[in-house]
Each structure stands twice: as structure tokens, then as C-alpha cells.
A = this chain, B = another copy of it.
């Protein structure tokens, strides 16, 4: 598929590299075209000798969103709404927006707080701001390394998915398979309001990170 990766941080670069390796074409979007991180990402693929490297491109948020059939929001939560606005509502309409960001607020240091929680969530804010997009929230409960290599954490473990459109969730489930997630490890939590749960979980995740000392962690849901 043609995929827009909004955000040039480690999450965006890690996801984009894996998606290209899986056969997708990815345009990485940033506030301005030709930025250091996106340019370096394109160059690193070109230098790798991968015959598919030509499918990795970069541009503005709007360039990327215009290109993508699926748009991945991998910006920091604090900038997500602004980035999607720069991408352009017309470029999002009718498309799947995979939101992998978290509304983290590090203004008081670590562990972070959330900028929105409890009665609302960033995923819902994005869906409300872009009502013609099909927002699917997933991947936000694991670190970038785990997003693209779930087998790196031993044993089966669970990835959450939510959104209002069943067809869009099915497409995302297939993309998650390309990242390495067996569909049996992906748990559909229902509509976009379930983001209140998966985003609030970050407040536990940071404590699990402190207790285990590794970002290579996740939880497995077990039920009788």
C-alpha cells in the first residue's frame, strides 16, 4: 500500500523502515520537506542496497498525506492534531488514519503525565477533528522496537486496536501482520472511545518500564 508516515522521530523511522521492507511504499512527512531526519532516513535506505529503497520518500505532512492511502500518525501526542491539520483534512477524508501516538506530557519530568485522559482521549480528539477520516488506534501501548518486532518479547502478548469503522480495522489488522503481529495477538477493544483505556495504560506502562528496566515489555491478556 501507499503509506504516509507523519513524524520523523524514532517511532516514525522504525515503522517506516519495516513497512518498506514489507513491500509498502512510504512517504515520510514532516513540518518542512528536506528536514534532517527524513532526508537521513531516505538516504539510509538508498545506501542499504535494498531494491525497494526507491519507494521510500520524504516531503511535507501534506505531501505525505496526499500520497498515502493509509496515514500513520507517529508524531508526538502534543503535536498530533497540528500535524494532521497541516496534512490537510482533504487528504485524510475517507482514508484510514492509524494513530500510534500518546498524549504524554513530560513537563514535570519522568514519569510523564497525560495531556488528556479519563473522560476523553487523543484518539477521540483526532476522530472529532477529522470526522471524515477512519481513525484506528493501535501500537501506542508498546515501544517502537516492539511495534516492529513483537517476537523480541518472549511469549505471546497482546496488542490493542480500536476504532469506529470495522473495515478500516480489518485493513489495519493486515498491516499489523506485516509488522509481525499474529492476528490472534491483536485484541479489538471496540470503538474509538476505548482509547481512554489504551492511552491511560501508558501511566502503568511507564511504571512497568521502571520496574523491569526494559522497553522490550508488554502485557498478555489472559481470561477464563
Contact surface of A with B, Cβ cutoff 8 Å: 111, 113-114, 117-119, 152-155, 157-158, 160, 162, 187-190, 194, 196-198, 200-201, 203-208, 210-212, 214, 216-224
CB of A102, distance to nearest CB on chain B (Å): 13
A211, B224: Cβ atoms under 8 Å? no
CB of A181, distance to nearest CB on chain B (Å): 14
A211, B188: Cβ atoms under 8 Å? yes
CB of A197, distance to nearest CB on chain B (Å): 4
Q: How far is the CA of A220 from the CA of B219 in the complex (A)?
A: 5
B219, A221: Cβ atoms under 8 Å? yes
A224, B117: Cβ atoms under 8 Å? no
Q: How far is the CA of A119 from the CA of B205 in the complex (A)?
A: 15
Q: Which residue of B lies closest to A189 (CB)?
A: B207
Instruction: Pick the residue among B114, B155, B198, B210 that contacts A118 (CB under 8 A).
Output: B114
CB of A201, distance to nearest CB on chain B (Å): 5
Residues of B within 8 A of A113 (CB): 118-119
Q: How far is the CA of A216 from the CA of B190 in the complex (A)?
A: 19
